[in-house]
Structure formats: structure tokens, C-alpha cells
């Protein structure tokens, strides 16, 4: 695997691959990689001739009092994991190259509506930062296909909408959530959990599955189900953020007549903010 820091060098290298009619897959990350990220690489390898991963901790998607400075930077370990997974190129750009005019006057990409829901309520600038950096990375890498994990279902929806609205020639693929044996969704932020919190954390996924089972069995009092689940999580030691049963296509609140749903949830446990989801077909 070749690690490249320069935008110009990466574009030249990928230009040669493109000239050889190679199909390019792209996996953007913020590093501190775990098995979930590696599964994205494997999916990319299956869908293209060349796989490019990026590692860039993007400041635009962090709000005040969030963990930008504390976010783990583990480049050497990440390089070893990517190489073992048969990634072809790692793009690890410098901050000044990604934001040459600074962040204050950076052109911003915003996906209205869907970005203001769920995670967007407690993290109002987050998806604007995500959409901006992903759009920039698409312009640099020019991939044929890009792979995003389904753990952050709302982020995947934002990226799909942005790509469609801006007519970007990139196929967006979702990848199934990677989980520990306990059911806990794998996340870089799981590293913030204490040993005791790691025992509590799977309660989030368990509560989601129990709620989904009630929906499938015919209970469509969604607001009651959501509040009951929130209380259950608080009793287990979580601080609530959201627990919402939504229409899958636009993430608006589900109605009894809706058939394609998704349950999206986020909750705080100690220093970690955990997210998870589960689709529901009625």
C-alpha cells in the first residue's frame, strides 16, 4: 500500500489508474480504524480494481465542546491495518491542503432538511461539515464508487442526497453495521468507554431490537415506544439524545400506515456518544 499526503500526487497516481481503465473505490475515514472500517475496505475491494482510503480528522464537523482535540490519531496502526486488508492507496492530507484559505471562509456544502433532524438537533453543524469534506474528497479522488457504513444511517442519507442533488458521478454504497459479539456497534468512540461502561453499552442495541420486535408485532404507538425505550436506557445509565422511529426515505416521524421504517438512536454513556439503528420492513 502506498501512503500519499499530497493532493497533486494522489491525483496524478489515480489519473494513471483511470487511464488504464481501472475502477476506483473510495473509503473516507477519520482514522483510528477498527474492524468495521476494514469491512468497508473489503467491500471496496469486491467492487473495484483499486481501493483508496482516506484519513482526515475534519474540524468542520466538530462543534464546540466536542472531541476534536482528543480524537485518536493512530496513523501507523491504521496503515498496518489497511495494508493487511489489501488497500492500494491511503490518502492522508494535511489540514492546510484541505483548507488552503482557512476554515472561516471555506465554501460550505449543506443538505437542508435531513441534516437538521436527529443528530442534527444536538450537533447542528455536523452534517454541513461532513457534506463539505466528502464533496471535497470526491473532487480529489474522483471515485467510481464510495463505501459508507450504515451505522450512521443519517450520514449515509445525507451523502446520498448530496451526491444526487449535485449530480456527482459517484455510486454510493452502504455497508452493514459491524458489531461485537455483544451486539454493540463497533465505533472509534467505544475507546472512551470504561470497563463498566462497556458492559452497559450493548443495552442500546438490545433496546432497539426489543422496540423493533414490538413494532413488528403490531404496536404502532411510536411515541409511547420511543419514550419507554428512552426511560429504559436512562435506567441503565445512559443520558438520552434521541430514539426515533422514522420513515426510511426521509427520516421524518413514522406514521401507522408507513411500511419502510428505520429506528435511529443515539445516547451518551460517560464520555462516549453511541449511535445505532435498525431497519424495519412491515
37 tagged catalytic: yes
Whether 27 and 111 map to the same domain: the answer is yes
Residue 20 is part of which domain span?
Answer: 2-175
Could you tell me if residue 113 is inside a domain? yes
* Sequence-separated (6 or more) residues with CB below 8 Å from residue 161: 111, 114
- pTM given for the model: 0.94
Whether 58 and 94 map to the same domain: the answer is yes
Q: What local confidence, expressed as pLDDT, does residue 72 receive?
A: 85
Whether 168 and 231 map to the same domain: the answer is no
| Selected catalytic residue, list 34, 37, 118, 126 | 37
Task: For residue 97, give the C-alpha cell.
Answer: 491542503
Q: What letter does residue 91 receive in the DSSP assignment?
A: E
* Sequence-separated (6 or more) residues with CB below 8 Å from residue 256: 220
Residue 67 has pLDDT above 80, yes or no: no
Could you tell me if residue 180 is inside a domain? no
Last residue of a domain, one of 141, 175, 209: 175
pLDDT digits (tens, 9 = 90+) for 90-128: 999 999 999 999 988 999 999 999 999 999 998 999 999
Order of strands across the sheet that contains 239-247: 239-247, 260-269, 272-281
Determine the average pLDDT of the residues in 187-208.
95
Whether 90 and 51 map to the same domain: the answer is yes
CATH code of the domain covering residue 227 = 3.30.1300.10
Whether 204 and 141 map to the same domain: the answer is no
pLDDT digits (tens, 9 = 90+) for 79-92: 999 999 999 999 99
pLDDT digits (tens, 9 = 90+) for 148-193: 999 999 999 999 999 999 999 999 999 999 999 999 999 998 999 9
Amino acid at each position: 500500500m502506498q501512503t500519499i499526503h499530497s493532493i497533486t500526487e494522489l491525483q496524478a497516481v489515480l489519473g494513471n489508474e483511470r487511464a488504464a481503465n481501472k475502477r476506483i473505490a473510495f473509503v473516507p475515514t477519520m482514522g483510528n480504524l477498527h474492524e468495521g472500517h476494514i469491512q468497508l475496505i473489503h467491500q471496496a475491494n469486491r467492487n473495484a480494481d483499486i481501493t483508496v482510503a482516506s484519513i482526515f480528522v475534519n474540524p468542520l464537523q466538530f462543534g464546540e465542546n466536542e472531541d476534536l482535540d482528543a480524537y485518536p490519531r493512530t496513523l501507523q496502526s491504521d496503515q498496518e491495518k489497511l495494508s493487511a486488508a489489501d488497500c492500494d492507496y491511503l490518502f492522508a492530507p494535511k489540514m492546510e491542503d484541505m483548507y488552503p484559505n482557512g476554515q472561516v471562509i471555506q465554501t460550505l456544502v449543506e443538505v437542508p432538511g435531513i441534516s437538521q433532524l436527529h443528530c442534527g438537533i444536538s450537533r447542528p453543524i455536523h452534517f454541513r461539515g461532513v457534506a463539505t469534506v466528502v464533496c471535497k474528497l470526491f473532487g480529489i479522488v474522483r471515485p467510481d464508487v464510495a463505501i459508507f457504513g450504515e451505522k450512521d444511517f443519517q450520514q449515509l442519507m445525507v451523502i446520498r442526497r448530496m451526491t444526487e442533488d449535485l449530480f456527482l458521478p459517484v455510486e454510493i454504497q452502504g455497508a452493514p453495521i459491524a458489531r461485537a459479539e455483544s451486539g454493540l456497534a463497533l465505533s472509534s468512540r467505544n475507546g472512551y468507554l470504561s470497563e463498566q461502561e462497556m458492559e452497559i453499552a450493548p443495552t442500546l442495541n438490545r433496546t432497539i431490537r426489543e422496540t423493533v420486535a414490538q413494532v413488528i408485532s403490531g404496536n404502532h404507538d411510536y411515541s409511547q415506544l420511543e419514550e419507554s425505550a428512552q426511560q429504559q436506557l436512562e435506567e441503565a445509565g445512559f443520558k438520552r439524545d434521541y430514539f426515533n422511529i422514522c420513515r426510511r426515505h426521509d427520516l421524518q416521524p413514522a406514521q401507522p400506515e408507513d411500511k419502510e421504517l428505520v429506528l435511529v438512536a443515539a445516547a451518551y454513556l460517560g464520555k462516549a456518544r453511541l449511535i445505532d439503528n435498525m431497519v424495519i420492513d412491515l
